[in-house]
Amino acid sequence: MLSIFYSMQALRARATMREMFLLASLALLSRVPSIGSSSDYEYVWSASSHRESRCTEIPEDLRLCHGIGYTRMLLPNLLEHESMAEVKQQASSWVPLVHRRCHADTQVFLCSLFAPVCLEKKVGPCRLLCESVRDACSPIMEAFGFGWPEMLNCSRFPLEEKDLCITKNHTEKSKESEHKAACPQCDFEMNADVILQNMCASEFTIKAKIKKTKIQNADKKVMLQKKKKAVRNTALNNQELKKLVLYLKTGAHCPCQQLDNTRNHYLIMGREVEKRYILTGIHQWDEENAEFRKVLNEIKTYRCSALDSLFK
């Protein structure tokens, strides 16, 4: 088998971008870090047949992968997206998962699929890379009611020693531990882009106060005060909104400071999962905050990508 190692040092056009999980949600969100470069990764491939491909520039509005460490990508990509418009629509929903920093390799793994580097052969991720990202990030996705999607089934990807794949050339610990104390649904920076992206991963967005909470198995049951207001078009009718009870999935033992304060109003987001409404985000209603005012100005007209097709 012919194998060739490409050092990403030759593709060192490094850039950073300030970006949003989960499921990214997903992301699936936290304090928004710069999404890093992949310059320390090596590409391993062997000769094999492949479909005719074309190279194209990675556009600035492909937020998931612009600034990843190389500037040109192949189309169709490894997810069979034929057009850049389709790539942008599908990839945008994964930016939140990168923001969650659940694994140091999340962006490199996803971009190897959405925007494979423009080399002679298409190069995908190694199975072990997929499994490592999946094991670290799927609990975050599950907290938002999303499972690891079939299109990212790690059995699809090759073993490193046998076939073409991307593997990591250094060891780096995940930064998840910096934020692991807080429930992921509650661990958000007041950032308009982050909040709006989290809204897109949700089915309803309301304004309400917390009445009380109680532990129920591994979850936390959240009761709201009677007065609630729909903030964005929601799947809930008036009767459902009136009786709404939320569940903080796997939140029995992680802190959520917002739920301890019954005086403040909150911007609350959620989705229906298995006939229960789960909480996917909660932000203090603070109209004096510039980022929150930006959210209120954009929330009714903000255009979301098609999340449903991704996380099935």
Quick one: 303 exposed, middle or buried, by C-beta within 10 A (0-12, 13-18, 19+)?
A: exposed
Residue 15 has pLDDT above 60, yes or no: no
Write the pLDDT tens digit of every residue in 76-97: 999 999 999 999 988 988 888 8
Write the pLDDT tens digit of every residue in 29-78: 333 334 444 444 444 433 333 457 889 999 999 989 999 999 999 999 99
Q: What is the pLDDT of residue 39?
A: 45
Q: What is the pLDDT of residue 210?
A: 97
Amino acid (one-letter) located at 233: N
Write the pLDDT tens digit of every residue in 143-199: 888 889 999 999 999 987 667 789 865 454 544 444 445 888 888 778 898 888 888
Considering the four listed CATH numbers 1.10.3470.10, 1.10.2000.10, 3.90.1150.10, 3.30.70.2190, the one that applies to the domain covering 3-178 is: 1.10.2000.10
- Domain chopping of the chain, boundaries: 3-178, 192-298
CATH number of 192-298: 2.40.50.120
Q: What is the pLDDT of residue 51?
A: 56
Q: Is the pTM of this model over 0.85?
A: no
Write the DSSP string, the chain: --EEEEEGGGG-----EE------------S-PEE---TTEEEEEE-------EEEE--TT-TTTTTSS-SEEEES-TT---SHHHHHHHHHTTHHHHHTTSSTTHHHHHHHHHS-B-SSS---B-HHHHHHHHHHHHHHHHHTT-PPPGGG-GGGSPPTTTS-EEEESS----SGGGTTTS-TTT---S-HHHHHHHHHTSSEEEEEEEEEEEEETTEEEEEE-S--EEEE--S--HHHHHT-EEEETT-SSS--GGGG-SSSEEEEEEEEETTEEEEEEEEE--TTSHHHHHHHHHTTTPPPP--TTT--
Q: What is the pLDDT of residue 171?
A: 53
Average pLDDT, the chain: 78
Share of the chain above pLDDT 90, in %: 48
Q: What is the pLDDT of residue 95?
A: 85
